Amino acid sequence: MKPMIRIDNLGKRYRIGARQNSYETLREVIAGAVRSPLGSLTRRRVSRGDAIWALKGLNFDVEPGEIIGIIGKNGAGKSTLLKILSRITEPSAGRVEMYGRAGSLLEVGTGFHPELTGRENVFLNGAILGMKRREIVRKFDEIVAFAEIERFVDTPVKRYSSGMYMRLAFSVAAHLEPEILIVDEVLAVGDEQFQKKCLGKMGEVGKHGRTVLFVSHNMAAVSNLCRRVVVLDAGCATFIGAQDEAVAHYLAGFRGATGSVRDRADRVGSGEMRVVAVEVRDGRRQSLETVASGQDVDICLHYERAADFRHSNVIAGICVKTQTDVPVFLQHNRLTRGEWGRLPQRGAFICRIPRLPLPPSTYRVTFSLMRNGEYIDAMDDAAELNVTGSDFFGSGEVPPATHGSCLVDAEWRLEAEPEHGEAELEPAAAGVQT
């Protein structure tokens, strides 16, 4: 079967550090060339600057009906790849073969004219995508209903909110039946309910034999929607394969950074206090590499504060997430009404989690220190929490993480229901003799 997209040794090079000359008129160009022809050639050589490869040596095919994910850190080359596939920019090396009409959603409102109404922009954007007017008319009501803008369809889109813009843009691209749908990380603009609608629509598009390229930092969405994923790093494909393995490969790139919290620069906050280590301990203050489901665990945020920082109203918090970036639980001292007295210059905020309710897996720990709604120090993926199985329920059985993100203790009982047609007897009132 012929692939819908074939990418062969694709590369894109950009110049950096080049001198930014202002635009000149034709008279100025000619006059400058007459005055100093050799000088103008020399200036051109000097202004070339250094070159970087945003993409290099990329090779993979996309099959008809396949929903393929593209993931990677910021600057990995994801958007550059989609711009080449959308024919917004040309490659510097290699080639791309596409067999079918492509619809792109790379940026909120791309292809919309702000002065035109929503109705007019549906027809304009459809024409840009290569649709005939009768196709647009046939799909128009469905597009507007999906975007949830019925009341505002005849309002100029310059008055739309960013969410309305995005909903209409996605709806047009998804409903006008391109053979290839290219979607960048624009779903973050919408609310959670609309994001679910979009993901469902992309899944529906794939079931109808059309191809979807989906770029996202939402690992849960990628795992749920895509069966194959390309991991980009510094413009190169470091992994192409099944979604679970690809996500694990991508997240492994963050693990090397969790060793030394003190020296990491990927943090936010005023810096008046800094967490210098994250430690997992048992109840006897012993550091743990692995903890067991149901074990009492302390998560310790070791900190150092500036000498002139003497405030005590600090909120210390942690968030534990799955490997696919799905939050499992959040805990901070305001939830438990915990207050600090005078903060020592060096110390540790300790969160005791009794009977850890997590199934066996590896989790990611994020921390934050806040005061008056402002970050003092915060960091994503500061540590890993490795959980192994134990007899949590006392039954010898613990469900795997694939069956749920937490373990919930419960009691079961059986109650008999009255037979059909049998009147339920009410108990006699206390103190009343019959």
Tell me if 31 is assigned to some domain: no
pLDDT in tens, 188-203: 555 667 777 777 777 7
Q: Residue 366 is part of which domain span?
A: 261-403
Q: Give dist(CA 93, CA 100) in Å, integer.
A: 22
pLDDT of 72 reads: 85
Angle, CA 277 vertex, CA 273 and CA 280 arms, to 5°: 130
Residue 212 and residue 337 share a domain: no
pLDDT in tens, 153-200: 899 988 888 778 878 887 887 777 778 888 876 555 556 677 777 777
pLDDT in tens, 331-350: 999 998 888 888 999 999 99
pLDDT band at 46 (very low <50, low <70, confident <90, very high): very low
Name the domain boundary from 254, 274, 305.
Answer: 254
Task: Report the CATH number at residue 383.
Answer: 2.70.50.60
Residue 105 and residue 13 share a domain: yes
Query: Of 171, 183, 187, 184, nearest to 125 (Cα)?
Result: 171
Mean pLDDT of 350-364: 91
DSSP assignment of 173-207 equals HHHS--SEEEE-TTGGGS-HHHHHHHHHHHHHHHH
Residue 265 and residue 219 share a domain: no
Residue 268 and residue 222 share a domain: no
Q: Give dist(CA 215, CA 237) in Å, integer.
A: 14
Mean pLDDT of 255-260: 49
pLDDT band at 106 (very low <50, low <70, confident <90, very high): low
Residue percentage of the chain with pLDDT more than 70: 81
Residue 239 and residue 109 share a domain: yes
Residue 119 and residue 168 share a domain: yes
pLDDT in tens, 24-45: 566 665 666 665 555 544 444 4
C-alpha to C-alpha distances, 349 to 277, 339, 384, nearest whole angstrom:
11, 11, 17
pLDDT surpasses 50 at 216:
yes
Residue 180 and residue 56 share a domain: yes
Residues in the chain: 434
Tell me if 422 is assigned to some domain: no
pLDDT of 31 reads: 65
Residue 144 and residue 275 share a domain: no
Q: Give dist(CA 18, CA 46) in Å, integer.
A: 8
From the number of C-beta atoms within 10 Å of its C-beta (0-12, 13-18, 19+), residue 45 rates as exposed
The answer to whether the CB of 159 falls within 8 A of the CB of 133 is no
Tell me if 276 is assigned to some domain: yes
Mean pLDDT of 376-384: 92
Which pair of structure tokens corresponds to residue 387? 């959980």
Tell me if 415 is assigned to some domain: no
pLDDT in tens, 412-422: 888 998 877 65
Tell me if 26 is assigned to some domain: no
Q: Give dist(CA 119, CA 153) in Å, integer.
A: 5
Which pair of structure tokens corresponds to residue 6? 């074939």
Q: How many domains, the chain? A: 2
Give the range among 1-10, 40-49, 50-59, 363-372 with minimum mean pLDDT: 40-49
Residue 351 and residue 243 share a domain: no
Query: Of 217, 206, 204, nearest to 254 (Cα)?
Result: 217
Name the domain boundary from 254, 289, 311.
Answer: 254
pTM over 0.85: no
Task: Report the CATH number at residue 174.
Answer: 3.40.50.300
pLDDT surpasses 60 at 64:
yes
pLDDT of 256 reads: 44
Mean pLDDT of 55-63: 89
Residue type, 57: G
pLDDT surpasses 60 at 353:
yes
Residue 249 and residue 169 share a domain: yes
Report the 10 Å Cβ neighbour count for 240.
18
Name the domain boundary from 254, 277, 309.
Answer: 254
Which pair of structure tokens corresponds to residue 251? 């997240």
The answer to whether the CB of 4 falls within 8 A of the CB of 63 is yes
Mean pLDDT of 141-161: 87
pLDDT surpasses 60 at 432:
no
Residue with more model confidence, 58 or 398: 58
Residue 104 and residue 227 share a domain: yes
Which pair of structure tokens corresponds to residue 193? 């309910």
Residue position matching structure tokens 């220190």: 369
pLDDT surpasses 90 at 206:
no
pLDDT of 20 reads: 47
Tell me if 408 is assigned to some domain: no
Residue 166 and residue 56 share a domain: yes
Residue percentage of the chain with pLDDT more than 90: 21
Q: How is the beta sheet containing 297-305 ordered, strand by strand?
A: 273-281, 297-305, 346-353
